[in-house]
Chains A and B, each alone.
Chain A
Amino acid sequence: MATFLVILHGLLAVALLGSITHQAIAVVWPAQSKAGFVNAYRSVSSRAYVNANIILFLTVAALGSVIYPIYRVWVRTYLENARLYPAVGSFEIKEQLIALGLGLLPLYWLVWRRPEPASTSARTAVTLMLCFIVWFSFLVGHILNNIRGFFGL
Chain B
Amino acid sequence: MNNNKIEKVIPVFSAAFALIYIVSVELNWALLTYHPKIHQWGWLVEPARDGPPMYWYGWLVTSVLGASAVSVVAWPFLKNRPTQYWLGWSVPLLVTFSVFYLFREWFLR
Q: How far is the CA of A125 from the CA of B105 in the complex (A)?
A: 28
What are the interface flags for A84-114 relative to B under an 8 Å C-beta threshold, 1 for contact and 0 otherwise? 0110111011011101101110110011000
In the complex, are the beta carbons of A68 and B54 less than 8 A apart?
yes
Q: Decide yes or no whether B47 CB sits under 8 A from chain A.
A: no
B95 → chain A closest CB, angstroms:
6
In the complex, are the beta carbons of B21 and A99 less than 8 A apart?
yes
Q: How far is the CA of A65 from the CA of B54 in the complex (A)?
A: 11
A119 → chain B closest CB, angstroms:
5
Q: How far is the CA of A92 from the CA of B56 in the complex (A)?
A: 10
In the complex, are the beta carbons of A86 and B85 less than 8 A apart?
no
Q: Decide yes or no whether A118 CB sits under 8 A from chain B.
A: yes
Chain B interface category by residue count: 35 or more
Q: How far is the CA of A96 from the CA of B59 in the complex (A)?
A: 10
With contacts A103-B17, A103-B21 known, is A122 near B89, CB below 8 A?
A: yes
Q: Decide yes or no whether B18 CB sits under 8 A from chain A.
A: yes
Contact among A70, A86, A95, A126 with B107 in the assembled complex (CB-CB below 8 Å): A86
With contacts A73-B36, A86-B106, A88-B106 known, is A100 near B18, CB below 8 A?
A: yes
Contact among A76, A92, A107, A118 with B88 in the assembled complex (CB-CB below 8 Å): A107
Which residue in chain B gives the minimum CB-CB distance to A91?
A: B106
In the complex, are the beta carbons of B95 and A100 less than 8 A apart?
yes
Contact among B37, B86, B92 with A73 in the assembled complex (CB-CB below 8 Å): B37
Interface residue count on the A side (C-beta < 8 Å): 37
Q: Decide yes or no whether B99 CB sits under 8 A from chain A.
A: yes
In the complex, are the beta carbons of B93 and A129 less than 8 A apart?
yes
What are the interface flags for B76-99 relative to A under an 8 Å C-beta threshold, 1 for contact and 0 otherwise? 000000110110111011011001
B residues with CB within 8 A of A: 7, 10-11, 13-14, 17-18, 21-22, 25, 34, 36-37, 51-52, 54, 56-57, 59-60, 63, 67, 82-83, 85-86, 88-90, 92-93, 95-96, 99-100, 103-107, 109
| Closest 3 pairs between A and B when the two form their complex, measured CB to CB | A89-B106, A103-B17, A69-B36
A residues with CB within 8 A of B: 65, 68-70, 72-73, 76-77, 83, 85-86, 88-90, 92-93, 95-97, 99-100, 102-104, 106-107, 110-111, 118-119, 121-122, 125-126, 129, 132-133
